């Protein structure tokens, strides 16, 4: 098993974070930090506030209390958006009549942020090459000029993932990126994400579906309106919270972890 | 009317006679109207694509009602009603945006409320000024063929500025129209751009009302955009086709209204409607052909889930 490169730079610091809507607490007491190269898996039951938490960290929603720091900079003052990529939940892009090709949607981020920041992994390639590569990696090259409304749910998710990939960003936030995608393709997705992680990108992932995911070197954030666990995956394997959430699939994940540890 | 046009077309013997159909272009006022109409129509159409996609399609309609109130106020105060209409409409447009954000009511409701109030204000003030006068009517129905020199240059400039702005910020505007939240994570200040749309739409409404009238300016915002959405596959083309549709409809509208002695505004809108029907038919035909093609293709190639 390959040694993961992590550095000691704190890419994300969250302290005493809470968010309410219509006087209802959506989440509170969130407190954790991540180093560069970490792979965080955010889990929790439906309605636990995971998506809201991710949106708050990204600055889409404004927290009720608490501090969020990205690369040491407070979220309100943060400006280096080329260092962040976001793959939102599938529900958001549902307008089948929106006039845009897959290519236009996937290149959106690249066109907005231009060549700012580190052109990590660029190797002097042109925009078109980078886009073409990402499409190829995700097996959607033939869909480049199709209207996004004509794509199936899984195809669209691949386009959105391609959009985040083209970026070569330092942190990638993903909210259920494989919900409409079939198991074999899911594996491909996570291989790609693992690959990015191994090259140094920090991954923050919300994912209900546990198939194809081992705890490995992941960190776990387990929330249910409040923070119930944050730490190494291996620790989580021994905890009570784990069986409560995973039920009988617990041993699958933890065994996977143990197997890899024995390589 | 139509018969005489047909007759004159059928009677063409020489090219010269055909060209004489375009004699109307030699008139200064017609040329000015044509230029303004094409420029303003293009700006409306391009802006309209964004507005329709963001579910703000009726904002043009709503703001024309407000502008009517603003014109009435202006006429009452004497002098150019243009400026009072402009200020009041811009404030109302921002008000609609705020209503939607703060009070959390839907855009269509916010538009409905503000436009009803605006219209009522205009009616009350007009009756206080002892009835509708001709000036007010011309703002209602527009008079593209009697545009003054100042308004000509003003509307040209505003239209160019709007289109240039949209071209300059094209990628950011595309991103936020597609998905506002992800756009924020790209560092786009969505709130500021929303203000921009509110102000610019108000500006265009007030400028447009002098052309095709309040009742019809919202048509230029909605119709070319909807026509374009029938046939456009990419975002870039949706803007280009909308602009083109607007320009063609203005030209044909002025052409037909001149020869057939019809009100220009209404003619332009009907031509837009015909173009929309045409685009819809094109889309249906293409869809049918695609269905044929894919039925044959799927028999040969395994589909990709």
DSSP labels, A105-132: HHHHHHHHHTT-S--TT-TT--HHHHHH
Residue A99 has its nearest CB partner, among B183, B185, B232, at: B232
Query: Residue B223's pLDDT is what?
Result: 95
Distance (Å, rounded) from C-alpha B207 to C-alpha B199?
A: 12
Query: Residue A100 and residue B305: Cβ atoms within 8 Å?
Result: no
Q: Which residues of A touch B167 (CB under 8 A)?
A: none
- CB pairs below 8 Å between A and B: how many? 77
Q: Which residues of A touch B234 (CB under 8 A)?
A: 99-101, 104, 145, 147
pLDDT in tens, B275-295: 999 999 999 998 888 777 766
Nearest Cα of chain A lies from the Cα of B48 at a distance, in angstroms, of 14
Tokens of A247: 């039920």
Q: How do the domains of chain B map onto residue ranges?
A: 50-212, 213-287
Cα angle for residues B219, B223, B228 (degrees, 5° grid): 160
Could you tell me the CATH number of the domain that includes residue A189?
Answer: 3.40.50.300
Enumerate residues 6+ apart whose C-beta is below 8 A from B177. B50, B53, B54
Average predicted confidence (pLDDT) for chain B: 83
pLDDT in tens, B218-277: 888 999 999 999 999 899 999 999 999 999 999 999 889 888 988 888 889 999 999 999
A174 DSSP β-pair partners: A87, A205
Q: List strands edge to edge, sheet with A65-70.
A: A24-35, A10-21, A65-70, A73-74
Residue A108 has its nearest CB partner, among B175, B181, B305, at: B175
Query: Residue B174 and residue A60: Cβ atoms within 8 Å?
Result: no
In a domain, A125, yes or no: yes
- If we measure between CA atoms, which residue out of B44, B40, B118 comes closest to residue B84? B118
In a domain, A52, yes or no: no
Q: Which residues of A touch B305 (CB under 8 A)?
A: 152, 154, 182
* CA A117 to mean position of chain CA atoms: 20
Tokens of A137: 């990696």
- Quickly list H helices, B13-106: 15-20, 28-53, 59-77, 81-102
In tens digits, chain A (263 residues) has pLDDT values of 444 445 567 899 999 999 998 889 999 999 999 999 999 999 888 888 899 999 999 999 999 999 999 999 999 999 999 999 999 987 655 677 889 999 999 999 988 887 555 444 444 467 788 888 889 888 889 999 999 888 888 888 889 999 988 877 899 999 988 887 777 778 888 888 888 898 889 999 998 766 556 666 788 898 888 888 888 877 777 777 677 777 766 666 666 544 444 43
Most A-contacting residue of B50, B235, B237, B303 (CB-CB within 10 A), to test interface: B235
Residue A108 has its nearest CB partner, among B53, B174, B304, at: B174
Query: Residue A120's pLDDT is what?
Result: 47
In a domain, A106, yes or no: yes
Domain interval for residue A120:
91-170+178-200
pLDDT in tens, A89-106: 876 556 778 899 999 999
In a domain, A147, yes or no: yes
pLDDT in tens, B10-64: 665 666 666 777 777 777 778 888 888 899 899 999 999 999 998 888 888 899 8
Q: Which residues of A touch B188 (CB under 8 A)?
A: 112
CATH class of B50-212: mainly alpha
pLDDT in tens, B139-166: 666 666 676 777 778 888 889 999 999 9
In a domain, A44, yes or no: no
Q: Are A189 and A178 in contact (CB under 8 A)?
A: yes
Query: Residue B172 and residue A92: Cβ atoms within 8 Å?
Result: no
> How many domains does the structure of chain A reveal?
1
> Which residue is closest to A106 within chain B, CA to CA?
B175
In a domain, A183, yes or no: yes
Query: Residue A5's pLDDT is what?
Result: 47
How many other CB atoms are found less than 10 A from the CB of residue B6? 10
> Which residue is closest to A102 within chain B, CA to CA?
B234
Query: Residue A100 and residue B179: Cβ atoms within 8 Å?
Result: no
Query: Residue B234 and residue A100: Cβ atoms within 8 Å?
Result: yes
A223 DSSP β-pair partners: A227
Residue A81 has its nearest CB partner, among B178, B179, B185, at: B185
Most A-contacting residue of B103, B183, B186, B301 (CB-CB within 10 A), to test interface: B186
Query: Residue B233 and residue A105: Cβ atoms within 8 Å?
Result: no
Nearest Cα of chain A lies from the Cα of B252 at a distance, in angstroms, of 27
A137 burial level (CB within 10 Å; 0-12, 13-18, 19+):
middle
* ipTM of model: 0.86
Query: Residue A79 and residue B174: Cβ atoms within 8 Å?
Result: no
> What are the φ and ψ backbone dihedral angles of A78, each rounded to 5 degrees?
-65, 135
Q: Which residues of B touch A154 (CB under 8 A)?
A: 305
Query: Residue B179 and residue A88: Cβ atoms within 8 Å?
Result: yes
pLDDT in tens, B77-136: 777 777 888 889 999 999 899 888 887 788 888 899 888 988 888 788 877 766 556 666
């Amino acid at each position: 098993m390959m040694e993961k490169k992590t550095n000691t730079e704190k890419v994300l610091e969250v302290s005493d974070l809470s968010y309410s809507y219509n006087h209802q607490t959506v989440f509170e007491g969130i407190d954790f930090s991540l180093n560069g190269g970490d792979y965080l898996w955010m889990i929790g039951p439906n309605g636990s506030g995971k998506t809201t938490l991710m949106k708050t960290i990204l600055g889409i929603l404004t927290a009720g209390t608490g501090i969020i720091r990205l690369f040491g900079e407070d979220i309100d003052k943060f400006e280096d958006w080329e260092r962040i990529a976001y793959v939102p939940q599938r529900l958001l892009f549902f307008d089948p009549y929106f006039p845009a090709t897959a290519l236009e949607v996937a290149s959106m981020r690249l066109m907005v942020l231009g060549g700012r920041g580190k052109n990590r992994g660029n190797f002097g390639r042109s925009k078109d090459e980078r886009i073409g590569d990402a499409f190829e990696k995700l097996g959607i090259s033939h869909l480049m000029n199709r209207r996004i409304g004509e794509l199936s749910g899984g195809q669209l998710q691949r386009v959105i993932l391609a959009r985040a990939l083209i970026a070569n960003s330092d942190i990638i936030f993903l909210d259920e990126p494989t919900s409409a995608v079939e198991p074999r393709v899911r594996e491909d997705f996570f291989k790609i994400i693992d690959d990015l992680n191994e090259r140094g990108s920090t991954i923050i992932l919300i994912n209900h579906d546990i198939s194809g995911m081992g705890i490995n070197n992941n960190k776990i954030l387990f929330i249910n309106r409040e923070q119930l666990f944050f730490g190494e995956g291996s620790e989580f394997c021994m905890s009570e919270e784990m069986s409560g959430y995973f039920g009988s699939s617990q041993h699958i994940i933890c065994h996977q972890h143990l197997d890899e540890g024995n390589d | 009317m139509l018969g005489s046009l047909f007759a004159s077309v059928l009677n063409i013997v020489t090219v010269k006679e055909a060209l004489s159909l375009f004699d109307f272009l030699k008139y200064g006022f017609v040329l000015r109207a044509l230029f303004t109409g094409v420029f303003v129509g293009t700006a409306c159409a391009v802006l309209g694509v964004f507005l329709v996609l963001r579910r703000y399609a009726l904002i043009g309609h709503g703001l024309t009602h407000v502008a009517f109130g603003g014109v009435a106020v202006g006429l009452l105060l004497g002098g150019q009603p243009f400026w009072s209409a402009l200020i009041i409409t811009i404030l109302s447009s921002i008000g609609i945006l705020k209503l939607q954000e703060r009070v959390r009511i839907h855009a269509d409701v916010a538009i409905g409320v503000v436009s009803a109030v605006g219209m009522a204000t205009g009616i009350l003030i007009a009756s206080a000024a002892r009835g509708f006068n001709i000036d007010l009517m011309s703002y209602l129905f527009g008079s593209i063929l009697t545009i003054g020199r100042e308004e000509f240059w003003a509307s040209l400039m505003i239209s160019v500025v709007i289109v240039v702005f949209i071209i300059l910020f094209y990628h950011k505007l595309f991103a936020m129209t597609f998905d506002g939240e992800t756009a924020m994570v790209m560092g786009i200040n969505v709130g500021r751009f929303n203000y921009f749309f509110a102000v610019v739409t108000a500006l265009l409404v007030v400028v447009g009302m002098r052309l095709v009238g309040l009742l019809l300016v919202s048509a230029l915002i909605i119709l070319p955009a909807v026509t374009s959405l029938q046939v456009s596959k990419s975002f870039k083309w949706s803007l280009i086709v909308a602009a083109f549709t607007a320009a063609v409809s203005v030209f044909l509208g002025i052409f037909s209204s001149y020869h057939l002695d019809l009100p220009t505004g209404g003619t332009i809108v009907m031509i837009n409607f015909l173009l929309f029907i045409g685009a819809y038919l094109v889309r249906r035909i293409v869809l049918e052909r695609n269905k044929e093609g894919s039925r044959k293709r799927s028999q040969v190639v395994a589909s990709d889930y």
